[in-house]
Chains A and B, each alone.
Chain A
Amino acid sequence: MISIEETDLGTPHRESEKLVTLTIDGTEVTVPAGTSVMRAAALAGTKVPKLCATEQLEAFGSCRLCLVQIEGMKGLPASCTTLVGEGMKVTTQNQKIAEIRRGVMELYISDHPLDCLTCPANGHCELQEMAGAVGLREVRYGYEGENHLSLGKDTSNPYFTFDASKCIVCSRCVRACEEQQGTFALTIQGRGFESKVSPSQNESFMDSECVSCGACVQACPTATLSEKSLIEKGQAEHSIVTTCAYCGVGCSFRAEMKGEEVVRMVPNKDGHANHGHSCVKGRFAIGYATHKDRILKPMIRANISDPWREVSWEEAINHASSEFKRIQAKYGRDSIGGITSSRCSNEETYLVQKLIRAGFGNNNVDTCARVCHSPTGYGLKQTLGESAGTQDFDSVMKSDVIFVIGANPTDGHPVFASQMKRRLRQGAKLIVADPRRIDLVKSPHIEASYHLKLFPGTNVALINSLAHVIVTEGLVKEDFVRARCEVDSFEKWRDFVALERNSPEAMEPVTGVPAAEIRAAARLYATGGNGAIYYGLGVTEHSQGSTMVMGIANLAMATGNVGREGVGVNPLRGQNNVQGSCDMGSFPHEFPGYRHVSDNTVRHLFETTWGVTLQNEPGLRIPNMFEAALDGEFKGLYLEGEDIAQSDPNTQHVTAALSAMECIVVQDLFLNETAKFAHVFLPGSSFLEKDGTFTNAERRISRVRKVMEPKSGYADWEITQLLSNAMGYPMNYKHPSEIMDEIAKLTPTFTGVSFKKIDEMGSIQWPCNDAHPNGTPTMHVDEFVRGKGRFLVTEYVPTREKVNAKFPLILTTGRILSQYNVGAQTRRTENNQWHDEDRIEMHPHDAEERGIKTDDWVGVRSRAGETVLRAKVSDRVQPGVVYTTFHFPESGANVITTDNSDWATNCPEYKVTAVQATRVSQPSEWQKRFRTFTETQESLLKAAETVSVK
């Protein structure tokens, strides 16, 4: 069911420069060509009755309720499938039409339960509405005939129910699954009276191919598909538009509320990033915000072996600040620092880096991007001049060739993947470069033209060989390069990639990709029309992560695929506000807006505004913090929303560093892995309690609006402000909008941004300033941000992480749709029903060699450590490669990842770890210690809660 506050105009909006004027019931209306008569009528204020039509889906013309009379046309055409014509005269209501409509409704109601008063859709049901609209007063057929009223309910999905007795077989759900989601999990089985909605091969929803995106629930005009939360709680009474806190798509949602209780999250059809679509996480997995594990009171303890003690906010803040001051007095100014995360809003991140720079007096601030897209920031800044992607998501609809490198969008960016799949079904070509056969390679009505199944760690070898083909076969867009790029850097690069050692033939033994495939893929990308590259952590989380990003930018520039819609370099930023946390300068070397701390002019601007002298030296990155802690020089850490003990590589190294510190302050929702090493716990807020902004992968700044007051009593930004004041650096913001106003004042790419403007426009893509007052969907249009694009020579340097007899397999890591990153949020929801443990995926050959079957326990050992996971034998991975996810702390995926990292940014090389896998019968030593430590820490937490109850 659509949102309580949205109006459904019946059929999709059409873009056209040509306008058509027609008359509907005597009223003139002008609409773009291609608009349906139904939609034109709705825009003119006339709601033509409908049941099978909905604005999110293409017209279907099956229910026959929307018939109209059009002068000069025979019969009574359906207004949903009839397009407007110049001078058309439409009558939407007369005696004949009214009789037909009543007749249609009589048929529907003759086979529908009459339990409106106890139905979950009561008051918000389109069938109910249509019965009223057509003036239905009786059903002349009676109710004694054959019907579907005794059909049962499918309650298998944890989030919604399918009540077949209420289904009117309008096919909206089937069409939503096809057009919006692209999974094609639903069909109409049978004909005529036997027609029914069938998930997959007449299976339950849970057993079918359904990915629980909720598009069918959204589309359903009756209570047939209803959210279980709606069934339980009843209809909402108001809604608030906010932004999802999961992935980097940044879907806009309407949180439908009863008071401060969320009834359901409904995707906002006016959402600029998601256009009314969603995935299982944002749509349904919000239960973590009110989970029993939430900690709502501040706590402190002297040592991590002590029980926690619940204290007042004043005591907690004073304790944290006095500890930080003590540590600085003893070990020096640089002995403390902070880490933000993408869970923080822009305003919250800005305040943390301001506290550290102005309050702590150093630049020891870093963010979660360190471990994911920091190479994107570095590489794109070097080549194009800006640390961000070049397009918006809608650009994909104008792409002719889509090249996905090291990304798995159907799992990591599902709503954008649905849009990409729509374009692919329209005929765009697909190239995938990935060691694994990701779902996108072959899915309903989509097949990649080329799947370049390269060996992990050989990205740069691949991109160089693709470039070799483009350069040596004369496929460079010479006029673009000459006009828009530094010619000398291009010529250097051209001469380099043309070398024989970079040819596909020479690189084939390195990458494992047949030379003929590389040649064909390169030709397709260079000559197939608009070529767009989308990439993810399979590019960045390597020792040559930054090099590969530069290689991608080189390829895009050489083929003229930058600076307009349909092309571009598109980093798929994984998290809701990782782009924002970078933009806000949560980096040891850069202020907000990506300006170096040594830049005297920029630093002076911040010093003047902040009223304090600032350090001009780069500070500690996260890995440097660990090393400095182990050296006894870094002793205090303030973390907001980041769980480094689970997310960072080489877990044992990280926990050793944490154990060496004297004051760790964790601001979070739960006792996460890092909090088990903390001395101060400050209860944070979920996105439902936040006011501020997030910036998604498109540089799109959207509002996150609180739907309930912070459960701990303070908003996250207020907590940082309290700490700052206690540290002696005054902050007096009254509202997050004031923080954004300050950001805008200090950051050239944000000067036009304000809460007011975001509210007016819905969202803004930075840069937003005098040059771009309405934001910038496509970057580098007339020139690159750095002026001329710069090519960089990208020599392939093999990783240090070598396989050998002892560690013969390569482990690579990734994500799954239903769980999100470290799982702190999704593990506390029903999403566990899809994925309740991390598994090691292994090719059948490798499994057979080792006597391993699916479900066996497998010891996975690397040079860094060992863990035990259950096996899943699958040919999605190639021989010699194993794969796992990292959503469950007890699986210890990062116990085995190493300290190898990107040469430029120290982004960890998560994607290449040499391992051996053997069948085992018990957990690893690390897992045994982890279990004991976790049990101890949980009991120490329980002690605090017990004292509090007393």
Chain B
Amino acid sequence: MSSDGPEQIVRMANDIGNFFRAEPDRKVALDGISNHINKFWTRRMRQRLLDYVAHGGNELDELPLAAVKLVVVAAAPVGQPATPAVVAK
């Protein structure tokens, strides 16, 4: 199973969501999930998550799904051609 295919991405996001599910403050939970994804996932992995949601993927749990709105895929890393910042709607 590819760790970047939709199934794996969803599993990983749900696992992160499971940790933050116990956090009573929803904003803290959402920030926690999105910060983790932004800090530790590669661009490719984050983009695939955004694409999964954009194309109607529905296996994400409620909390990580809500956190996806805060996941950022900014302009390309330095040294590569710049692309506009892409942020999930």
Q: Mark B65-89, 1 if CB is under 8 A from A, else 0.
A: 0000000000001111000000000
Cβ-defined contact, A627 with B4, below 8 A: yes
Which one of A492, A615, A631, A794 contacts B77 once the chains associate, using CB atoms below 8 Å? A615
Cβ-defined contact, B3 with A793, below 8 A: no
User: In this assembly, does B22 line the interface, its C-beta being within 8 Å of a C-beta of chain A?
Assistant: yes
Which residues on the A side are within 8 Å of B45 (C-beta)? 624
Cβ-defined contact, A618 with B18, below 8 A: no
User: In the complex, A614→B79 CA distance in Å?
Assistant: 8
Cβ-defined contact, B77 with A589, below 8 A: no
User: In this assembly, does B23 line the interface, its C-beta being within 8 Å of a C-beta of chain A?
Assistant: yes
Cβ-defined contact, B3 with A623, below 8 A: yes
Which one of B1, B22, B39, B80 contacts A618 once the chains associate, using CB atoms below 8 Å? B39
Instruction: Give, as a whole number of angstroms, the nearest-CB distance from A489 to chain B.
Output: 10
Cβ-defined contact, A628 with B4, below 8 A: yes
Instruction: Give, as a whole number of angstroms, the nearest-CB distance from B30 to chain A.
Output: 15
Instruction: Give, as a whole number of angstroms, the nearest-CB distance from A868 to chain B.
Output: 26
User: In the complex, A633→B21 CA distance in Å?
Assistant: 34
Which residues on the A side are within 8 Å of B24 (C-beta)? 492, 495, 793
User: In this assembly, does A616 line the interface, its C-beta being within 8 Å of a C-beta of chain B?
Assistant: yes
Which one of A547, A615, A631, A899 contacts B79 once the chains associate, using CB atoms below 8 Å? A615
User: In this assembly, does B16 line the interface, its C-beta being within 8 Å of a C-beta of chain A?
Assistant: yes
Q: Evaluate whether A617 and B43 lie within 8 angstroms (CB atoms) in the complex, with A793-B22, A795-B18, A795-B19 already known.
A: yes
User: In this assembly, does A543 line the interface, its C-beta being within 8 Å of a C-beta of chain B?
Assistant: yes
Cβ-defined contact, B19 with A617, below 8 A: no
Cβ-defined contact, B78 with A614, below 8 A: yes
User: In this assembly, does A516 line the interface, its C-beta being within 8 Å of a C-beta of chain B?
Assistant: no
Which one of B8, B12, B77 contacts A617 once the chains associate, using CB atoms below 8 Å? B77
Nearest CB in chain B to that of A550: its residue = B19
User: In this assembly, does A151 line the interface, its C-beta being within 8 Å of a C-beta of chain B?
Assistant: no
Q: Evaluate whether A361 and B79 lie within 8 angstroms (CB atoms) in the complex, with A627-B4, A797-B19 already known.
A: yes
**CB neighbors of A among B1-36 (8 A):** 1-4, 8, 12, 15-16, 18-19, 21-25, 36
Which residues on the A side are within 8 Å of B18 (C-beta)? 795, 797, 903
Nearest CB in chain A to that of B28: its residue = A492
User: In the complex, A633→B43 CA distance in Å?
Assistant: 14
Cβ-defined contact, A615 with B78, below 8 A: yes
Instruction: Give, as a whole number of angstroms, the nearest-CB distance from B3 to chain A.
Output: 4
Which one of A333, A618, A795 contacts B41 once the chains associate, using CB atoms below 8 Å? A618
Main secondary structure of the interface of B (DSSP, over half): loop
Number of interface residues of B (CB under 8 A): 27
For chain A, the bracket of interface size reads 35 or more
Cβ-defined contact, A618 with B79, below 8 A: no
Which one of B1, B3, B40, B78 contacts A613 once the chains associate, using CB atoms below 8 Å? B78
Which one of A496, A616, A633, A903 contacts B16 once the chains associate, using CB atoms below 8 Å? A903
User: In this assembly, does A352 line the interface, its C-beta being within 8 Å of a C-beta of chain B?
Assistant: no
User: In the complex, A619→B44 CA distance in Å?
Assistant: 10
Cβ-defined contact, B1 with A899, below 8 A: yes
Which one of B12, B25, B44, B78 contacts A903 once the chains associate, using CB atoms below 8 Å? B12
**CB neighbors of B among A793-831 (8 A):** 793-795, 797
Instruction: Give, as a whole number of angstroms, the nearest-CB distance from A792 to chain B.
Output: 8
Cβ-defined contact, A794 with B22, below 8 A: yes
Q: Evaluate whether A624 and B42 lie within 8 angstroms (CB atoms) in the complex, with A631-B4, A903-B18 already known.
A: yes
User: In the complex, A85→B24 CA distance in Å?
Assistant: 64
Which residues on the A side are within 8 Å of B80 (C-beta)? 333
Nearest CB in chain B to that of A614: its residue = B78
Which one of B1, B23, B42 contacts A793 once the chains associate, using CB atoms below 8 Å? B23
Q: Mark B30-62, 1 if CB is under 8 A from A, else 0.
A: 000000100111111100000000000000000
User: In the complex, A903→B22 CA distance in Å?
Assistant: 15
Q: Mark A492-535, 1 if CB is under 8 A from B, else 0.
A: 10011000000000000000000000000000000000000000
Nearest CB in chain B to that of A796: its residue = B22
User: In this assembly, does A620 line the interface, its C-beta being within 8 Å of a C-beta of chain B?
Assistant: yes
Q: Evaluate whether A903 and B3 lie within 8 angstroms (CB atoms) in the complex, with A598-B39, A616-B78 already known.
A: no
Instruction: Give, as a whole number of angstroms, the nearest-CB distance from B81 to chain A.
Output: 11
User: In this assembly, does A904 line the interface, its C-beta being within 8 Å of a C-beta of chain B?
Assistant: yes
Which residues on the B side are within 8 Å of A4 (C-beta)? none
Instruction: Give, as a whole number of angstroms, the nearest-CB distance from B38 to chain A.
Output: 8
User: In this assembly, does A630 line the interface, its C-beta being within 8 Å of a C-beta of chain B?
Assistant: yes
Which residues on the B side are within 8 Å of A124 (C-beta)? none
Instruction: Give, as a whole number of angstroms, the nearest-CB distance from B14 to chain A.
Output: 9
Q: Evaluate whether A631 and B19 lie within 8 angstroms (CB atoms) in the complex, with A598-B39, A613-B79, A618-B42 already known.
A: no
User: In the complex, A588→B41 CA distance in Å?
Assistant: 10
Q: Evaluate whether A627 and B2 lie within 8 angstroms (CB atoms) in the complex, with A492-B24, A596-B39 already known.
A: yes
User: In the complex, A61→B5 CA distance in Å?
Assistant: 72
Which one of A334, A547, A624 contacts B3 once the chains associate, using CB atoms below 8 Å? A624
Q: Mark A914-930, 1 if CB is under 8 A from B, else 0.
A: 00000000000000000
Q: Mark A617-655, 1 if CB is under 8 A from B, else 0.
A: 111100110111011010000000000000000000000
Nearest CB in chain B to that of A613: its residue = B78
Cβ-defined contact, B19 with A904, below 8 A: yes
Which residues on the A side are within 8 Å of B25 (C-beta)? 492
Which residues on the B side are within 8 Å of A631 (C-beta)? 2, 4
User: In the complex, A619→B36 CA distance in Å?
Assistant: 14
Nearest CB in chain B to that of A625: its residue = B3
Cβ-defined contact, B78 with A547, below 8 A: no
User: In the complex, A627→B4 CA distance in Å?
Assistant: 7
Nearest CB in chain B to that of A627: its residue = B3
Which residues on the B side are within 8 Å of A633 (C-beta)? 44
Which residues on the B side are within 8 Å of A361 (C-beta)? 79
Cβ-defined contact, A496 with B12, below 8 A: no
User: In the complex, A138→B15 CA distance in Å?
Assistant: 81
Q: Evaluate whether A904 and B36 lie within 8 angstroms (CB atoms) in the complex, with A619-B42, A631-B4 already known.
A: yes
Q: In the A-B complex, list the 7 residue pairs whose CB atoms are closest, starting with the nearest.
A: A795-B22, A627-B3, A903-B15, A793-B22, A615-B77, A613-B78, A797-B18
Q: 19 A–B contact pairs at CB < 8 A?
A: A334-B42, A492-B25, A589-B39, A615-B77, A615-B78, A615-B79, A616-B78, A618-B42, A626-B3, A628-B44, A631-B2, A633-B44, A794-B22, A899-B1, A903-B12, A903-B19, A904-B16, A904-B19, A904-B36
